[in-house]
Amino acid sequence: MRINVPRILALVIIAAVIAGMTNLYADAGPIERMARRAACDKHDASPCRERLGRIARTPFFHDYEFKDAGRTVNVRCARSYYLVGERSCNVVP
């Protein structure tokens, strides 16, 4: 039995494109809540009043910029492996 390399390569590329499109166009509500939680934890603000200023979404990560009282907090949310895996949000300096 021969292995059809071009067909396997095509399937891998199609799977990567689908994963990238899902990361880019899927509902970002839960991701935004994770980013807001990370921004609020940085300032220990209670209640959290950080306002969303800017969003940049790519297949590999989502960047959020939150503002409150003249402070700006940048948060990047990314998957553990480029296109798949658990998401985590970290404050970016």
> Whole-model pTM?
0.82
Determine the pLDDT at residue 49: 82
Q: What percent of the chain has pLDDT over 90?
A: 61
Between CA 77 and CA 79 the distance in angstroms is 7
pLDDT per residue as tens digits for the range 11-47: 999 999 999 999 899 898 999 999 999 988 876 656 7
Helix residue ranges per DSSP H, 26-88: 29-43
